[in-house]
Chain A
């Protein structure tokens, strides 16, 4: 056997391997393509052989050829063969090839499902790894669905190498198979706290990627990420988390407030620029989200801007670039702080690096004010002249226009200046943005009435010098401005001084070389011009001149009639006829000007861009309804009276085409002939089209107007924008002097002339009055325009499918599809090349199954929904709770610094907290009451009880009580307020209450939250808490401290203030309740001095505190009970008077259970301990008694739990 293998490999050692191929290609530089096609032929031969080594060698070469641009999809099946090799060496080659060339359209990809599944469960971690890597590149919806469950299992693999890959690939699976997101999410979340940093980082990566697309669904993870952020040292992870927070803060401003402090700390402490930069970025995001009404963050802004300045000033171009990028984000909300760095940014405009110049340009947008606009634009114009590449120059051009036109020309004080800037820009050769300039010209001329006269004169000049602009028509972007020029001159021809000259300019033969749409505008507007000239001449009685101008039109228009552009042709011939008619009238000496000018009466007003969309549909109008009855196919139609409309009859006849008789056809043929005869574009023998033009003079007869020979390159008489800058300065100076005078006499008068932006101006800017009376006409909107301004979302967004609420508990139906009928044969034979026919059937089967499942899902949805709503509420509250009350973990970690400072710090949050809590309650109340109205009683009740359970100590009873009275819909009496915080110890100075919570992530830890309340009028400080550890239960102390050391409480207490601290305890066994003795030592400081005080306490760890409320579904519950490995025990308590509802609520609240099912006075409940013991309860209520049957995987734990429960219930 071995010999045979050796022989085989000797045979193939003379095959080309990858290196030979590469070498060969390098040696055939001249005929590379030929050589490669030869190689491909060889590869095809090799692929036909049975030897897997030969095959994989061939596939390896193909992968290389793929990189060179050769399509290798024809070898897809061979690639799959190599993927299924038993040896890792070959497998890896196969998967690599697949990852390079497989995609959703690869049809054989479905054959890989079983192979991949097999590899995923391979005992060799590298087989699994290579399969995961490959799959990540070519996963399809089918593969994702079929393999999701297998990958999910791998997320808990023992090897971190596999875990991290499995976690990462889940993102791809989610994208392709969004249904998998909810079932897999809990585990993914778990991985955030994986002991291996690689896995943790992968989980962070995936969640960040998910959250980036649909941030609101991940808000509830904020506390967890916050914890990671303050504890992680991995920069990569930190960057991801910080970026994520940047995406979350806009949704939750309170989160932002919480973030500012740790982020600022990081900014101060980190040495990694990448991290610093991301921190600054997120702080900016926070500040943007807080920008309304948070004036006291100016320090943070200053810090950011200051750090960014350091980046921008750095010699490293990368940092400079990023600094500018981040700066532009600040600009949006805090332009003032950026403006102070104008010098630096203008300096960057001169940088040799184009990327940096472009970023600096972005910033300029926000730097301008009325004062400096002209100056900045002037600088930019210099850059425009200097710029080499057209892209950069075009960018400059758009930026100049952006800057000037921003917020409705807010910063322009002198529109003459602006028009001349625009005119200057038209001298740019080869720009793509001619239409932009044109649009600006039109916009300004239409909307700024006062400028029209000036604009028209400038435009006339442009038209006169059109040859300069249109000369390089091959790159004719700039000739678009002629479109605007022609229109402005025509529309506002009353302002034109030498209309004759302009008209002549527009009639020049060269115009016909312009693009059609511009010619069309020319033609239309020369009539406007003509009309106004006519009127002028008629009024002044110069009949000769009037006829001359008519003659000119008649002479020149035919060149447009011949245009190839339909629009130009149509307009020109129409107008030519009109003018011929006018000529006739003129000969008869009939005054015509009035009538001609009437053609263009009325003003065109600008219309807002969204006006059409915002026209409300009038009431009672159904746009989808038929206006007339839909035409029925029945013949009865014919009987309808023919009185309606003449042409409707015609339309009917067209509908019934097949029944047209011979006569009709003949008639039509005739008509068509006629039509063709009159169409100049039909080439035919008939000389008719030429005849039509015979009466007009030929092109060669047109007298060529002697023009443009003496025209200098600078457009004559064109004002230079620079002059305006000077003029403006003088004007402003004068204005200022005047103003100063006025000020003394009277109080400042408001002089801002803009309608819209008065409120935006700062005082200093208001001082500058525009040079003209600027009357910006606002755009027209339809009456009753809808105020909504929502942007249309892209319905094709692939990430939309992942917009899934993750906080809902999982329904039973939401499971990843598991393949049940495995193909045993393929499993057994490792080197299989199983017949593809057999395999290809499988996916179909699976699909069916999947569909069935979905049907199930539908059924269960109703039930699920109920639970979902409750849970949502709970989640929301949890987050609120974290955001508003929990002391930030940072502060716990921080050692005490000077007493005064920290005292203030503590006092403040407490106040804020209180306020917020109140707000929150109001909100909650509002939410609930509105909900209550909508929902049915039953749901309400449940919700209520749940709410109570979760409300903890923070909700005060009064509000709850009043609320239920107000609502008045409850038929049960309200629940009494419950608090899980029990008294720990109390003396005249201090009161301690505590609560114990299991830690879900760690099976041997519980967290004890202690609220310290200062009851005295003295200041309490240097509090230190110490407990006497038992063998089983120990307090978690910082490393290096002995078991006898206490833990300092991380805050001080001013009189009357309370605050909460958390202590972590580790335990081994949780089946028994524990008691720990402890002492709190503290210093009381008042006017008389300070004294040491001590307070002893006993911490009671009840068994219930090891339980974690875990929702459970009835079928899972039933399965659990059936499994039979649970121990059973029961209790009975007499003399219970409270309602069953309350009873359940109490058990849920104090003992951390959740109700699985409730039928009348019988309920099943479930909970789980931190060490994974299941605890099931069946609670039955008798007349005056309650019996509880319990089942638990540990009998001691159960009996202890039941004892505790008995105690609770007996108090009722």
Chain B
């Protein structure tokens, strides 16, 4: 059994796409998957800037873990438009224990590769990453 905590490499594509989201705003969200056989974190899906929060929740499988980055736009109390970059560790209760362990132990190292995450969220079911949770964490 490989040591999951320190063995997971991060594919260059992940960092590139994240930089694009941060600087050029070319993606609404990115979903990352850990490919166990190649021992890498790779980009699974990219979201267009026009896609919404609902498209984002639809791209997260209900029984498997994923990492995701979401660019959340909102209005502050003074009606100023602002955005926050959320990192979501999606770990549903119904996923396999092995999958949850691998994602949990590799999360820290992966997050360090993505420079510029403003809020981190861990969700174990759809209610924990509901829109109201995003809004309350955005301030």
Do A and B actually bind? no
Residues of B whose CB lies within 8 Å of any CB of A are none
